[in-house]
Amino acid sequence: MDFQRICLWVALLLFFSNYGGVEAGDIVHGDDLAPKKPGCENDFVLVKVQTWVDGIEDVEFVGVGARFGTTIVSKEKKANQTRLTLSDPRDCCSPPKKKFPGDVIVVDRGNCKFTTKANFAEAAGASAVLIINNQKELYKMVCEPDETDLDIQIPAVMLPQNAGATLQKLFSNGSSVSVQLYSPRRPVVDIAEVFLWLMAVGTILCASYWSAWSAREAAIEQDKLLKDGTEELPSIKNTGGSSVVDINTTSAILFIVVASCFLILIYKLMSFWFIELLVVIFCIGGVEGLQTCLVAILSRWFKQAGESFIKVPILGAISYLTLAVAPFCITFAVVWAVYRDYPFAWIGQDILGIALIITVLQIVRIPNLKVGTVLLGCAFFYDIFWVFISKKLFKESVMIVVARGDRSGEDGIPMLLKIPRLFDPWGGYSIIGFGDILLPGLLVAFSLRYDWLANKSLRAGYFLWAMLAYGLGLLITYVALNLMDGHGQPALLYIVPFTLGTFLALGRKRGDLKLLWTRGEPERVCPHVRLESTQESL
């Protein structure tokens, strides 16, 4: 197994084992099903808590507003700067020992009801209450079914545990602390989601045409050999020196099993050093992908350099063009790894990621619709299990924890395409996992290869409809994400039924389903000769 094949195996495992959802946006937890009633019917909103220390603007926290109490203003200019005070007793489960006229008070979560704290704070004259959670995550504050004392006229906001620790440190220094509370509205559609959608669709489009072009070149080459009367046909290799690898049904199922084990490994070992290891692996795969793409493009202009090879120990035969491009690719990946925490580092991550995805889609292929159905079907249930069902086994969603990097102190694993939300006052990134592009991309690339080999027009073929189905499935994923209050969504839950369902239904309607399911390519001029894309399989 050569170096490129090793990179390919590692890349595929990471594709499967990373988070399948478009966005890991699940930042608040609690009882979403708690019924609304008079005095307890607010929508849950994120709240910005800007602090000032001795009159100087300081750190900003993000909390979540309660279902009870008054609503919080949405515009910063309408929010008042108010003095912040610690409650006494700290949990505010009994009446405070002194009054807080007009102050915002900080209380610990404690063991009493949230509404009890708010009522005591309001009775002491507080203008708002900040409740510090006993965990690093937030919690949606709801009302008990039997509660009646809900005429609360001050806002209540929950802050995470680390915010409470920071505020406590400020107070211990004897500083004067004031806060400003406001809840800016998030845009219905952020332009980042549009660009991310275009990026995903464009990646599959480019990879599909490259894969189909390679298959057509191989078919033309074989036709020439047949016309020349060649009796023994060599294995057809892909342009650029990379052999094509067909996935079979066994390897498709095995990949899901291995990927599940790998995901659990990442979940259990999630830490700062483990994220660093994943960054190194991602850089190796990114270098390989970027190098393959650049060599394929530049070889059109520097054909002789692309066809002249030199033998390198361990790596084998490498073209002079590859040697010329490799230093640039390595430097690019190293610079990204060093500066990946900077605001514009997402550009480098996306370039490396897209190049790797395109390379894998060009090298790895599904030979027929049967393998595609098994692969996507298994991935469909894999995604659902590790996003939703894993909560019951591990008390939290394994995929979401891995994607966010909750235990690592960083922003999660790098195997994601992401774009910053430019017009969102809350900032952050819109993200999509590599697997949500790669897996359906294998099916879409297969459809274009079939269309070209069968000489089908765009409308009469399958590629156009497969692309439209993928784009629509991804669009529905974004809609579901917004409707689900920002909770992370497994994209394959929506994409697989659209792409696979469209392909199966269209194939059956046109009478091609049996051929697509078994053979995966049209009949050749000589029936006894079948185009073999490779002698190898995963």
Question: CB count, 10 Å around CB of 272?
Answer: 11
Marked catalytic residue, from 383, 411, 424, 451: 383
Under DSSP, the state recorded for 348 is H
* Residue whose tokens read 């899901």: 256
User: Which residues, 6+ apart, have CB-to-CB distance to 219 below 8 Å?
Assistant: 453, 531
HSE, side-chain direction, 13 A CA sphere, residue 4: 21
d(CA 289, CA 467): 23
| Catalytic site includes residue 228 | no
Calculate the dihedral angle through the C-alpha atoms of 307, 312, 317, 318, rounding to the nearest 10 degrees. Answer: -40
Report which of 499, 496, 522 is spatially closest to residue 511, judged by C-alpha positions. 522
Under DSSP, the state recorded for 514 is H
Q: Check if the beta carbon of residue 369 is closer than 8 Å to that of residue 517.
A: yes
* b/e sequence 21-32, b meaning 16+ C-beta within 10 Å: bbbbbbbbebee
Could you write out the DSSP letters of every residue in 104-170?
A: EEEEE--SS-HHHHHHHHHHTT-SEEEEEPSSSSEEE----TT-------S-EEEE-HHHHHHHHHH
The amino acid at 398? V
Torsion-angle region of residue 396: left (phi > 0), alpha (psi -120 to 50) or beta?
A: beta
Report which of 150, 51, 68 is spatially closest to residue 106, judged by C-alpha positions. 51
* b/e sequence 480-505, b meaning 16+ C-beta within 10 Å: bbbeeebbbbbbbbbbbebbbebbbe
Compute φ and ψ for 297, nearest 5 degrees: -75, -50
| Catalytic site includes residue 436 | yes
Marked catalytic residue, from 26, 108, 246, 436: 436
Report which of 538, 446, 439 is spatially closest to residue 212, judged by C-alpha positions. 446
Q: Environment class of residue 538 by beta-carbon count within 10 Å: exposed (0-12), middle (13-18) or buried (19+)? A: middle
**Strand segments (E) across 167-258:** 177-182, 245-246
Q: Check if the beta carbon of residue 509 is closer than 8 Å to that of residue 450.
A: no
d(CA 27, CA 63): 10
How do beta strands 28-30 and 138-140 pair?
A: parallel
Q: Residues with catalytic annotation?
A: 383, 436
